[in-house]
Chains A and B, each alone.
Chain A
Amino acid sequence: MSAQPPSDEHDFGRLFVQHQSRIYGFIRSLVVHRADAEDLLQETASVLWRKFDEFLPGSNFSAWALQVARFQVMYFRQRQKRDVLQFSDKFVDAVGADTIAESDRLGDLQELLELCMDKLPPADHELFDLRYHSDLSAKNIAEQLGRPLSTVYNAINRIRRTLAECVEQAMNRADRERT
């Protein structure tokens, strides 16, 4: 029995939610500012929705979405003024291509991140929560805890690095188990 053509917002929503962290991560790695990344995600979603009838269910939604996102990023860059801080075309091409190549691997990132966060010491976990769950800036956190900004800043960076390395190790383990 051949797959039914996707026809409604529900299917699109389900697919987009499933892959949005990858799409957002992709965009975020290609632009300097968070606000730009959020705008680009909106634009990408708009285009994907409008072209959704061209997407064949069962094919690689993530790869398709990332390509669309990549072109949205490039178009965005053309619209930017010269003095706005942004990455070069070469950077976007290289990072974009590598991300698309890794997109399947990055699909498990959410789950692996949660496992890695379980391993964080309590103090690190609390700090991470303040930064991301409460959405406080490093400066706000430093004021709240009465600690130097540099200490908080370095601690958050260290935690992100720890999580990234943990996730990478987990991905490598998964790769070995698959082969």
Chain B
Amino acid sequence: MTVAPNYHSELYELAGAQCEGTMVADQVARLEELVLGDGRLRRMYILYMHVHACAERRGAGGKGRGMAGLPAIDLSVSTGAAVEHPVGAAVELPLQPEPRTPSPEPPFPTLSTTNYPLPTPFVGSWAFSYMVATVIMGVMLLVFWAMKVTHHQHIAEAPAQSAPSEAMPEMVFVGRITGMVDVKWSDDPHYLPPPDFAHVPLERKYILSSGLLEITYDSGAKVILEGPCTYEVESTAGGYLALGKLTAKVASGQWPVASAKPQAANQKSPSSFILHPSSLFFVRTPTAIITDLGTEFGVEVNKAGTSKTHVFQGRVEMRLADGGRGEPLTIQLGVGESGQVEHGADGRGPTLLRGAADAAGFVRVGQLAKLAEQLHPTPLCRWQAWSKELRKRDDLLAYYDFQRDESDRLVLRNRAATGKQFDGRIESPAWVSGRFPGKHALRFGWAGNGVRVNIPIECKQLTLLAWVNLDSLPNPPECGGLLLSDGWNKVGFSRANFAGRIHWQIRYDGTISFTLDNRSGNMRSRPVFDNAETLGHWHHLAVVYVYGPETSHVVFYLDGEHVGGGNMIAVAHPTVVAKFGPAMIGAWWDSRDADCTCASYPLGGRIDELMIFRSALEAEEIHRIYESAKP
């Protein structure tokens, strides 16, 4: 077999495939050929695989593995596959254990009358004395032996010098990535970007094509890089901006940190740094070193290496590259000032131009989160903006956003313009999370739990909408209350007329029901909660009611889609308009019963928004409302 001269790379590539678990038969064959054909390659392969094995062992410690990274070794388990080779088999042990010597006899005779028949008289004889002395000597020897064992055991427990440390080799971290907005890293395929929100190590380079990246140093200093930008972390208190823009903020009174002695400003790339007792944050560029004096400032560097510093707060010191001649020029810039430094032409030193700061041209520290919110609003933010607009509607009778009022957790606020008069009173409140992060909801489901409202309004046209997440359907023949007026079909103990009072609920058969009390009309949707998949998810329910002197009309919606409805047949005549009065959300109060002590018909689930319009919304608008606020 002929081995090609340049085999190292090929060997490493094949071994790499073995490490990554991607080897195929041809690769196995080729690896064997290389390894068997050359002793040097064989040793390289062995070392490479040992490095890989070592790294595997060190890296995965703690993930259900024993012995720091390797599978837990259960010494009590026999896998059945482990083979013990019989004594005498061809096992070459380099250092065979020496044949064991029999344990020495104990150094003193045993005190047994069976072994030492006692002469008479024994006690007091020379034999007895000899025996006692021997026993004493033996005990002393035993004590010394035990001490020696203890000593050896102590040594045995001490870790060997070459015992591996569990700690990872120490990198010096100076901060973390604390903000990212639309970051696009360099296109260079050989540039490996950091993981999101990683710790920031010394000498790490950040090359952004676009977007914003915020680094917070451990000292508290914050830097926002704006792509396109190349920035390298030079020390615990600064870095090198080769190209692009950054904003830095270092609050005054920050505790001092050891920082690198800044390299010469005209050095294109940082070399190894020296710890320097300076305590000030700095940014180095191709033409200047900007040292913070307790401030916020921006720096930009163009491709020609021209640096411009803008001071937004406080002061900075700007030191120019001296071109090797004399002491470098140092100036201080104050609030609203800028300093631009260009490379000197024709061998001359750099030039400085003072001007006004351009604060609007930089993303300021503290603006990143807001910017991220504007560019990528969270569902909660989007909903809040939409909710704010909704409240302005004239036809909105009541709007419960189910956001917990921290000043009174027993109140369910009405956010419509109709105001506090329609606030609800929560009984046995259970505030829970709603349909997206930051959204609140109320959980219903047990006797006595619900929200009391009183809306003494009659409507010829009505739209009810709610976001509901059901855990379960009620048991037959019951219903789970969405919005139910008190009492039912009777004058009631207060002798009030209940005719036309609204009952909007979910029935045990998975249909949605809209009923007007006192035989004034009853309508159901088709079954919509008819399988387990509909439970445990947020759904948007809506019902539209339009009064008619002969027949009224009702339409049901689920998630913006029509799911049933039609003409509502009234048993009693004349037909009545819909009305509310005292009612409950999430339950029903049976006011027929003077002895009734708590609400019933609990809804088995959560509600996180409920709206009452005194108009009949069109299907398109209901669909739009659903789309605008869906999770």
Contact = CB atoms under 8 A, between A and B. Distances in A.
Interface of A: 1, 3-4, 9-12, 14, 16-18, 20-22, 24-26, 28-29, 32-34, 37-39, 41-47, 49-51, 54-56, 59-60, 63-64, 67, 71-72, 75-76, 79, 85-88, 90-91, 94-95, 98-99, 102, 106-111, 113-115, 117-118, 121-123, 125-135, 137-138, 144-148, 151-153, 155-157, 160-161, 163-164, 167-168
A33 to B, nearest CB: 7
Nearest to B98: A56
A49 to B, nearest CB: 5
Contacts of A86: 28
Contacts of A126: 192, 194-195, 198, 201, 204
A135 B91 CA distance: 37
B383 interface: no
Contact of B93 (A38, A67, A164): A67
A42 B192 contact: no
Interface stretch (B48-56, B372-380, B412-420, B575-583): B48-56
A146 to B, nearest CB: 7
B55 A108 contact: no
Closest 5 CB pairs of A and B: A132-B59, A25-B50, A25-B53, A29-B49, A157-B16
A161 B11 CA distance: 10
Name the residue among A90, A109, A115, A127 with the largest chain B CB count within 10 angstroms. Answer: A109
A87 B28 contact: yes
A125 B204 CA distance: 10
Nearest to A64: B93
Contacts of B47: 106, 109, 164, 167-168
A132 to B, nearest CB: 3
28 contacts: A29-B45, A32-B18, A41-B70, A43-B79, A47-B84, A50-B82, A56-B98, A64-B93, A67-B92, A71-B91, A75-B81, A75-B83, A94-B36, A95-B42, A109-B50, A110-B58, A110-B162, A114-B169, A123-B205, A129-B59, A132-B58, A133-B58, A137-B20, A147-B189, A152-B192, A157-B12, A160-B15, A163-B55
B354 interface: no
Contacts of B56: 24, 28, 34, 132
B71 A91 contact: no
Nearest to A121: B203
Given A121-B203, A156-B16, A95 B192 contact: no
A122 B202 contact: yes
Nearest to B89: A71
Nearest to B71: A38
A46 B77 contact: yes
A41 B75 CA distance: 12
Contacts of B3: none
A56 B101 CA distance: 13
Given A14-B156, A127-B192, A50 B84 contact: yes
A108 B48 contact: no
B123 interface: no
Given A145-B195, A151-B189, A94 B42 contact: yes
B345 interface: no
Contact of B70 (A38, A54, A85, A117): A38
B190 interface: yes
A122 B163 contact: no
Name the residue among B53, B83, B93, B198 with the largest chain A CB count within 10 angstroms. Answer: B53
B171 A111 contact: no
Contact of A146 (B50, B157, B185): B185
A63 B93 contact: yes
A9 B67 CA distance: 14
Given A25-B53, A42-B73, A132-B55, 10 more contacts: A29-B53, A43-B81, A86-B28, A122-B203, A135-B63, A145-B192, A147-B192, A155-B192, A160-B15, A160-B19
B379 to A, nearest CB: 25
Contacts of B73: 16, 41-42, 45-46
Contacts of A146: 185, 193
B185 A160 contact: no
A85 B85 contact: no
A176 B616 CA distance: 93
B78 interface: yes
Nearest to A32: B23
Given A130-B195, A132-B60, A153-B20, A113 B49 contact: no
Interface string B197-231: 01001111100000000000000000000000000
A43 B82 contact: yes
Given A128-B55, A161-B12, A85 B192 contact: no
Interface in B96-155: 97-98, 148-149, 152
B204 A25 contact: no
Name the residue among B13, B42, B54 with the largest chain A CB count within 10 angstroms. Answer: B54
A152 B20 CA distance: 12
A163 B36 contact: no
A121 to B, nearest CB: 7
Contacts of A133: 58-60, 168
Interface string B168-197: 111100000000000001000110111100
A11 B156 contact: yes
Given A60-B95, A147-B192, A157-B16, A111 B162 contact: yes
B45 A95 contact: yes
B47 to A, nearest CB: 5
Contacts of A3: 152
A136 B194 CA distance: 15
Contacts of B201: 122, 125-126
Contact of B51 (A75, A87, A163): A163
A20 B190 contact: no
